[in-house]
Amino acid sequence: MDIASLTIDQVQEGLRGRQFSAVELATAALEFARAENLKTNAYLGFSEERALDAARRVDEKLARGEDAGPLAGVPVAVKDVIVTKGVQTTCGSKLLANYIPPYDATAVERLEAAGGVIIGKTNCDEFAMGSSNENSAFGPVRNPHALDRVPGGSSGGSAAAVAQGTAVVALGSDTGGSIRQPASFCGVVGVTPTYGRVSRYGLTAFASSLDHIGPFGHNVRDAARLLNVIAGRDPLDSTSAEAPVPDYLAHMDGNVKGLKLGLPREYLKDLTSESGDLIGKAIETLKKLGCQVRDISLPTTDYAIACYYVIATAEASSNLARYDGVRYTFRSGSSESLNDMYRNTRGEGFGAECKRRIMLGTYVLSAGYYDAYYLKAQKVRGLIARDFSNAFAEVDAIAAPVSPFPAFKIGEKIDDPMTMYLSDIYTITGSLAGIPCMSVPCGKTAEGLPVGMQILAKHFDEARMFRLADAFERAGGAQN
């Protein structure tokens, strides 16, 4: 059993052919994940008892001749900002180091109902705030392709788990690129669905109007299958959409001839690195597949970084106010008064990046500045969304880079927040517009570092996005 290379199809074929049982697979996956975790620190904890119980249920269903579900026996990793009943959920923060949730996120319930086996919770930037996975209170995650490099953030642990093969698929969260960027850095597929496509119930809030749950996979089919399982309306989340969820696999026929593909000139004009060369080769592959490529403009792109960091930090300031030491968080032991307890708990519990964003968010929401910053940012967000609406009136999908560069070295940018924030310049726009976006591997640099191509589609058109990505993957696009 070559656990590191297993796909969902191979897991199901192995179970049907009695090559292994779900319990045997879960046991082997847990053992392998623990060994590999010494190298990457991708996991913060393992859920052995829960995994083996889920695996036994799968084996029992198969023994009775029942359908065990589309994820039957598949080892899954879950980012540690997504709550899991009875399993520690820390959000990568000292504040929640001992927190055990009393309920499951809707996405977790759905993947286990589909037969998925959750083997552990993955490391992440504290409260999902970061672009490198260096902001975790429990140490950085290392990129499986180069252990001295970051895996991307904030879902770096989930991306690394899939890249090293310790999980077949994984759940991450994306606020401004936190699925697509680590997917690109780690050479896996990562999908940010349309806002509202997947329930946020049980996702620890960072910026509520921007947060998404989405899948990682070794290939496009695995990511699409996981999204099919977790997507759909949830009465527990008022922002989840009523839109029907199609069978994504049924649309992945390899035929993209005649598809109109837009190339945003604002994304490509300054992309002169090796990443740019690989994106260029990927575009040529899509042309050979019959795509009609045309230049488009997204004119408000230059305002996206400022717009995002006003909105995201403002919402973070509000959402993180609940971590005060009173209820379920870490509490400072060196306080003489209630105000001291609040101040000391938050001062000792939050890391530097969380403090930076809380302070900035509190400032832009303060009296006299709300209209000047937050309200104006929301207006710019509307202009960014309009750019995409205009573009999708001309094209069926958009192809773009994910990041200006491949994975950088641990410690290289951590002391320069502005440079770190600029690494999200190509992913933030799609997040602000709430459209579906994904990263699909398109090759490696001379140093062997993976690079991903971003595909963006109009609202709730994940099916077309997957069809394009799958055709590119079938054409060997990852081998550029």
Q: What is the per-residue pLDDT across 160-180, written as a single tens digit (0 to 9) for each?
A: 999 999 999 999 999 999 999
Average pLDDT over all residues of the chain: 96
- State CA 264 to chain mean position distance: 23
Options 47, 79, 136, 403, the catalytic residue: 79
79 catalytically annotated = yes
Options 93, 154, 275, 423, the catalytic residue: 154
389 catalytically annotated = no
413 catalytically annotated = no
Residue 270 has pLDDT above 80, yes or no: no
In the structure, what pLDDT confidence band is assigned to residue 4 with cuts at 50, 70 and 90? very high
Q: In the predicted model, what is the mean pLDDT of residues 244-258? A: 96
Q: Please give the model's pTM, rounded to 2 decimal places.
A: 0.96
Domains of the chain and any CATH numbers:
3-241 (3.90.1300.10)
- State CA 168 to chain mean position distance: 15
The long-range contacts involving 326-329, CB below 8 angstroms and separated by at least 24 positions, are 328/96, 328/99, 329/95, 329/96, 329/99
Indicate the residue type of 343.
R
Which residues in 259-272 are b (16+ Cβ under 10 Å) and which e? bebbbbebbbeebe
Options 93, 178, 275, 317, the catalytic residue: 178
Q: Which of 168, 48, 183 is nearest to 114 (CA)?
A: 168
Q: In the predicted model, what is the mean pLDDT of residues 399-420? A: 92
In the structure, what pLDDT confidence band is assigned to residue 272 with cuts at 50, 70 and 90? low
pLDDT tens digits for 6-44? 999 999 999 999 999 999 999 999 999 999 999 999 999
In the structure, what pLDDT confidence band is assigned to residue 285 with cuts at 50, 70 and 90? very high
pLDDT tens digits for 447-472? 999 999 999 999 999 999 999 999 99
Residue 45, pLDDT score: 97
Percent of the chain with pLDDT over 70: 100
Residue 288, pLDDT score: 97
Residue 421 has pLDDT above 90, yes or no: no
Residue 368, pLDDT score: 85
In the structure, what pLDDT confidence band is assigned to residue 417 with cuts at 50, 70 and 90? confident
Ramachandran category for residue 464: left, alpha or beta (phi over 0 → left; psi -120 to 50 → alpha): alpha
Q: In the predicted model, what is the mean pLDDT of residues 191-201? A: 98
pLDDT tens digits for 311-366? 999 999 999 999 999 988 899 988 899 999 999 999 999 999 999 999 999 999 99
